Amino acid sequence: MSAHADPHCIFCKIVAGQIPSRKVYEDDELFAFHDIHPWAPVHFLMVPKLHVASMAHVGPEHEALLGRIMALAPKLALEQGCQPYPDGGFRIVVNTGAQGGQEVHHLHVHVMGGPRPWARG
Ligand code: 5GP
Ligand code: ZN
């Protein structure tokens, strides 16, 4: 586990390979993997390898990292089976804090898509 990880964080453990996941993508800064309880036919999570607890913790120093996640999401969505815009598409969600529905406190971007109906949402 890297020096920027939280040893108690489940997503840091997934990034480090200490908890298995179905990987979608990895580079030096980012990791993406399928959600264990998918809401939609395609549902994966994109995380920075750096432990950032939530969107509420984001500052100017994270602009490039978040930009990279957002710029990569459409490509990964298509690769994972989302259908093309405008008839297909995808949904991007970032739950933040208790009232925002956040359960895992390592910043993650949900990417969901595929044919309706979805299990949720
Ligand atoms: P949140 O509610 O924090 O936005 O979403 C956390 C997401 O992480 C949930 O959709 C949940 O299914 C997913 N999740 C929680 N634990 C694990 C895990 O161990 N592996 C994977 N692949 N997904 C997980
Ligand atoms: Zn973490």
pLDDT in tens, 79-120: 999 999 999 999 999 999 999 999 999 999 999 999 999 999
Q: Is the pLDDT of residue 57 over 90?
A: yes
Rounded CA separation 79/90 (Å): 12
Q: What is the Å distance from ligand 1's center to 59 Cα? A: 24
User: pTM above 0.85?
Assistant: yes
What residue type is assigned to position 114 of the chain?
Answer: G
pLDDT over 80 (residue 40): yes
* Ligand 1 neighbours by CB, cut-off 6 Å: 10, 19, 21, 33-37, 95, 101-104
The pLDDT of residue 68: 98
Name the token pair of 32.
């993406």
Catalytic residue list: 108
Question: In the predicted model, what is the mean pLDDT of the chain?
Answer: 97
- Hey, where are the domains in the chain? 10-118
Other Cβ atoms within 10 Å of 92 Cβ, number: 15
- Separation in Å, CA 118 to CA 4, 11, 42, 113: 36, 25, 9, 8
Phi, psi dihedrals of residue 72, rounded to the nearest 5°: -85, -25
DSSP state of 118: P
Peptide bond into 41 cis (omega under 30): no
pLDDT at 50: 97
Domain 10-118: assigned CATH number: 3.30.428.10
- Cα of 12 from ligand 2 centre, angstroms: 4
Question: Which pLDDT band holds residue 6 (cuts at 50, 70, 90)?
Answer: very high
